[in-house]
Amino acid sequence: MTEATLSDYEKRLLDDFQKEFPLHPRPFAVIAERLGVDEDTVLDLLCELQERGLISRVGAVVEPHRVGYSTLAAMRVPQEMLEAVGRFVASHPEVNHCYEREHGLNLWFVVAASSRRKVAEVLADIEYRTGLPVLDLPLEEAFRLDLGFPLTWE
């Protein structure tokens, strides 16, 4: 991604609203006002950034187990099955952060649901339907990581 491929508005959307997202019934209208554009423009820009693969989602980050339950999971998937299994795992609405790693356990993902029971059901479904064991790695100690970082434009 180069500076020339992003408009000033897109750069500001990506950089200025990583933190302190407006807690408002119409947050995108607040962002639009701050950017000097209308709400539809902000929503269109976000959709375009997502379609271009520059962002995956816009949403809150909630402290683990404050609302619902989540776990990290990993699988050892034969390379010839990895794409299909990854697509299947990622198709579950409870799954996010589904990605390949260069490791014996080569497919990693997070399952987040309303309860520990629902998370267990999703993991069991994945295991049953793929025929591959799923390693459940529940949170033992929480660390707060600030994932916002200033973007630089050259």
Q: Where are the domains of the chain?
A: 3-51, 69-137
For 71-96, b/e burial (b = at least 16 CB within 10 A) is bebbbebeeeeeeebbebbeebebbe
Residue 99's closest CA among 83, 115, 121, 114? 83
Q: What are the φ and ψ backbone dihedral angles of 114, each rounded to 5 degrees?
A: -70, -20
Instruction: Write out the chain in H/E/C secondary structure.
Output: CCHHHCCHHHHHHHHHCCCCCCCCCCHHHHHHHHHCCCHHHHHHHHHHHHHCCCCCCCCCCCCCCCCCEEEEEEECCCHHHHHHHHHHHHCCCCEEEEEECCCCCCEEEEEEECCHHHHHHHHHHHHHHHCCCEEEECCCCCCCCCCCCCCCCC
Quick one: CA dihedral 71, 151, 41, 45, positive or negative? negative
Q: What's the confidence (pLDDT) of residue 132?
A: 98
Tens place of pLDDT per residue across the chain (154 aa) = 444 588 888 888 888 888 778 889 999 999 999 999 999 999 999 999 988 878 877 877 667 767 788 999 999 999 999 999 999 999 999 998 899 999 999 999 999 999 999 999 999 999 999 999 999 999 888 777 666 667 776 6
CATH number belonging to domain 69-137: 3.30.70.3460
- C-alpha to C-alpha distance for 143 and 154, rounded to whole angstroms: 33
Q: What percent of the chain is predicted at pLDDT more than 70?
A: 90
Q: What's the confidence (pLDDT) of residue 3?
A: 46
